Amino acid sequence: MQNRIYVTREIPEIGINMLKEKGYEVVVGNDKKPISQKDIIDILKKAEKIGKPYNILLSLLTDKIDKKVFEIAPSLKMVSNYAIGYDNVNIEDAKEYGVMVTNTPGDYMGSVAEHVVAMTLSLCNRIAEADHFVRRGYYKGFDPMLMIGHDVSEKTIGIIGAGRIGEKTTYCFNKGFGCPILYYDCHRNEKIENDCNAKRMESLNDLIKQSDIISLHVPLNEKTYHMVDEEFISKMKPDAFIINTARGAVVDEKYLYHALKEKKIAGAGLDVFEFEPNITRGLSKLGNVIMTPHIASASIKARDIMSKVAAQNIIDYMEGGESKNNCVK
Ligand code: GLV
């Protein structure tokens, strides 16, 4: 049987071409917004019915893939998720239905790390706020007391999750600004300890209490859901910032809104949202938060690599029975 792949939305062509060159039949959905689970089910069901089933799904982080999808698509053998995070795919269900799931880690984490730095600089140097100020015509001349901010180089950075992205972020802050680094992770990262003098914290509470900028780099799962809640925020320094480029629901967004409004902490940089694409009411009215639309990995290089890795995962698994980015253990 010819391998047939349904790609739920447009992704960079490079990976699509790799699959086509291998003779795979690739169909790319043309929706401009995230596709619903019902639509995914309808597409797969119809293909099964007409005898041209898809055996591979190339999904995005917005696609909810679980039992409901697997049970109507008996031909489906693989879900190649175009993302590092794969909390959108129910791995237990995939296991039950014998479907392989892969993700796209790779050598492009610099993009996310740079986004963390950009958000930090924007918050500390009040860039977004200052830009609004000038555009709205409020600038009436130099004022030595205007928009005084913070030096990033004076800050202690707390990295929660020292995997590849946390590691890159550590290098950016330590090598670029000389910032001391604290990190919290169940695994030791000797590379950042040796190269950046990063200090592994035994206690998350100690990291929270001692950090000026906290950057989240954990996957979303039952342990990390609402990790940043009222208790977490109550331990942060009142002049500390938090940056989230991981997954929205790692933060209790409604409480974060309250904390920012009440100035319990200095500010937040959010690239991801708990109720994505919806934003907690009131958040966008606050001056101490900057927000970007889940684009931390959206550099040309990163997106191309993700496309290549997603395609290579398919080729490796379909042709060799194995992929190095296997999420079903
Ligand atoms: C983006 O959020 C990703 O997980 O790749």
pLDDT tens readout for residues 227-272: 999 999 999 999 999 999 999 999 999 999 999 999 999 999 999 9
Three-class HEC string of 58-114: EECCCCCECHHHHHHCCCCCEEEECCCCCCCECHHHHHHCCCEEECCCCCCCHHHHH
Same domain for 211 and 313, yes or no, is no
Range of the domain at 75: 4-106+301-320
Instruction: Please identify, by atom number, the ligand 1 atom nearest to the C-alpha of residue 245.
Output: 2
Among 164, 217, 247, 303, which one carries the catalytic annotation?
A: 247
44 C-beta closer than 6 A to ligand 1: no
**Does residue 329 lie in a domain region?**
no
Mutate to test the pocket of ligand 1, among 11, 58, 61 (most ligand atoms within 8 A of CB): 61
- Say if pTM beats, i.e. exceeds, 0.85: yes
For residue 2, pLDDT over 80 is answered with yes
Same domain for 38 and 163, yes or no, is no
> What is the per-residue burial (b if ≥16 Cβ within 10 Å, else e) of 147-184?
eeebebeebbbbbbbbbbbbbbbbbbbbeebebbbbbb
Q: Are 191 and 167 in contact (CB under 8 A)?
A: yes
Q: How confident is the model at residue 186 (pLDDT cuts 50, 70, 90)?
A: very high
| Ordered alpha helix ranges (H), 247-292 | 253-261
Q: What is the number of domains present in the chain?
A: 2
290 C-beta closer than 6 A to ligand 1: no
pLDDT at residue 121 in the model: 98
Q: How far apart are CA 5 and CA 306, in angstroms?
A: 17
85 C-beta closer than 6 A to ligand 1: yes
For residue 208, pLDDT over 80 is answered with yes
Q: What is the CATH number of the domain that holds 26?
A: 3.40.50.720
Percent of all residues in the chain with a pLDDT value above 90, rounded to a whole number: 97
Q: How far apart are CA 246 and CA 231, in angstroms?
A: 20
